[in-house]
Amino acid sequence: MPETRDVSVRARWTSIVLAAVTVASLTACGSDSANTAATGASASPNAVSGPITVFAAASLTGSFTQIGKDFEAANPGTTVTFSFAGSSALATQINQGAPADVFASAAPANMKTVTDAGNADGTPETFVKNQLVIVVPKGNPKNITTLAGLAQPGVKVALCAPQVPCGAAAQKALQAANVTVTPVTQEQDVKAALSKVTLGEVDAALVYRTDAKAAASDVEGVEFPESASAINEYPIVVVKNAPNKAGAQAFVAYVLSEPAKKVLTDAGFQAP
């Protein structure tokens, strides 16, 4: 009988110890879960990382450079590299197989060349709009106040090339005003057209509001009503053969987020 009683006692204590260990383990797991939820930490193996290459319209240079830095800060382990140029040139490069993760165009027409070629992953989404202004040197020495002023004798004007979004928009605005302008130069992106004014090579150029605002220390922007008929929408999309598809999707999502929208509107872009 004593031996049987000892076995029973040992069994009872074993059960108590096992129960205590189980409760402790469950408590520890619960604490870990609570801590993870509180800090926002994640052990997901699908975290965004690696290089992300973004092809973007030249007019996005300032804004996207800042957005890229903000994105990298929010996603440690990522590196965003930009290729800024005219949207038509970027679209051609993508269709020729250039390794890009994201394409942000300054006009739907240039984006359409990419989607028509089957090189977009998903449907492009418009994230901002932009509008033209006449940009002139400080003091407006030629006293240009309307589009008609660009057609005055002796006024040298720079425009973007017709296939570039800012060039196509300029043609629409000039047609709406029934004004014919013969530019002394046609540039491949809006930054190049703006530089002709800042360098003193021309008397005026048609550029976006955002570019005039960014160069406000060197130039003045002259608003004109016909610009309302030539507002450009900016679409963005993940490229079909993106080397970093997860990174591309995350970057596009960030561009559409409130922090990025603030950067863009502060630069003078309009909400879509």
DSSP secondary structure letter of residue 231: P
Instruction: Name 99's Cβ contacts closer than 8 Å, sequence gap at least 6.
Output: 53, 241, 243
68 vs 63: CA distance, rounded Å: 9
The residue with tokens 């993870």 is: 36
List, as residue ranges, the binding site for molybdate: 59, 87, 190, 208
List, as residue ranges, the binding site: 59, 87, 190, 208
CA dihedral 135, 234, 85, 177 (to 10 degrees): -40
Task: Please report, for residues 84, 86, 102, 239, 269, the alpha-carbon distance to residue 98 in angstroms, rounded to integers and kept in the order given.
Answer: 14, 15, 11, 10, 28
Question: Residue 251's CB: how many other CB atoms inside 10 A?
Answer: 29
- 190: nearest Cα among 54, 61, 64, 65: 61
Task: Please report, for residues 59, 85, 137, 191, 243, the alpha-carbon distance to residue 159 in angstroms, rounded to integers and kept in the order given.
Answer: 14, 15, 15, 11, 35
Tell me the helix, strand and coil percentages in the chain, rounded to 5.
Answer: 50, 20, 30
The residue with tokens 């002139």 is: 136
Question: Residue 112's CB: how many other CB atoms inside 10 A?
Answer: 15
- Sequential DSSP letters for 167-186: HHHHHHHHHHHT-----SEE
